[in-house]
Amino acid sequence: MKYYVTIGERAHEVELIERLGKLEVIVDDKPLELSYDEADRLGQVVLLHDGRSYAISIEGGARQVGVTLAGHYYGCELEDERERAAQLAARAAGKGGGAIQAVMPGVVVELLVDVGQTVSAGQPLLILEAMKMQNEIRAEADGVVDALHVAAGQAVAAGEKLISLSVAE
């Protein structure tokens, strides 16, 4: 089984091969000798590698996994081969825009753009207030505003669609 793991701006390939009940691990084309044991079902993991012990903690779902190693946090985005192929196909079809979702529950304070407006990457689209802080939600790429899914003053849940953008070719 092959996984594509993105940490920050770098991508890594991890191949897991089950052989005689043991897991062989290949990271970026190099075999990695390690022993991995989950101490509980809550995320405490005992990791032994190259004669060293790493008490790490892991949490998350299939696509996003967070690993804490010696106090440092690594946000990992995971794709298996099928997901990677679907993602590449979508990218090729020019679906780089799409809906921008709320990353946390909050209240829409102000919409800064209108439908049909041309926006550039980094431009603030709306202000979302959460935990008494106002956060600017910005466009990730140049594009045109297709739809506004929310109105000023509206409370939104995490994952709710805020604005749809179509990305300029």
Partner 1 sequence: MFNRILIANRGEIALRVIRTAREMGIECVAIYSEKDKKALHTRMAHVAVPLGGSSPAESYLDAEKVIAAALETGAEAIHPGYGFLSENATFARRVTEAGLAWIGPPPDAIEVMGDKIISRRAMKKAGVPCVPGLVDPVDDPAAAVEAAEGIGYPIAIKAAAGGGGKGIRIVHEAAEMASAFRTASGEAVSAFGDGRLYLERYLDRPRHIEVQVMFDKHGGGVHFGERECSIQRRHQKLIEECPSVVIDERLRGKMGEVALRAGHYVNYEGAGTVEFLWADGEFHFLEMNTRLQVEHPVTEMVTGVDLVREQLRVAANEPLGYGQEHIRMNGHSIEVRINAEDPLAGFLPSVGTLHNLRAPGGPWVRLDTAMYRGMEVGLDYDPMLGKLIVWGANREQAIERMKRALAELNVGGVRTGAPAALAVLEHPDFVAGDFDTHFLESMELAPPEEYEGLVAAAAAIFRHNQARRRALEPRASERAGWVARGRADFTNHSRRATNGGGA
Q: Which residues bind partner 1 (CB under 8 A)?
A: 1, 3, 5, 7-8, 10, 12, 14, 16, 23, 25, 27-28, 32, 34, 36, 38, 40, 42-45, 47, 49, 54, 56-62, 65-76, 78, 103-106, 130-131, 133, 135, 158
Nearer Cβ to partner 1 (70/92): 70
Nearer Cβ to partner 1 (23/115): 23
Q: What residues does 2 pair with on adjacent strands? A: 15
Nearer Cβ to partner 1 (17/147): 17
Written as six digits, the tokens of 118 are 């041309």
119: number of Cβ within 10 Å: 20
Question: What does residue 167 show for φ and ψ, rounded to 5 degrees?
Answer: -90, 140
CB of 114 to partner 1, least distance (A): 22
CB of 143 to partner 1, least distance (A): 21
Nearer Cβ to partner 1 (138/161): 138
In this structure, the chain runs to a length of 169
Where do we find the tokens 């079809």? 93
CB of 92 to partner 1, least distance (A): 25
CB of 151 to partner 1, least distance (A): 19
Nearer Cβ to partner 1 (121/158): 158
| Whole-angstrom distance, CA of residue 142 vs CA of residue 140 | 7
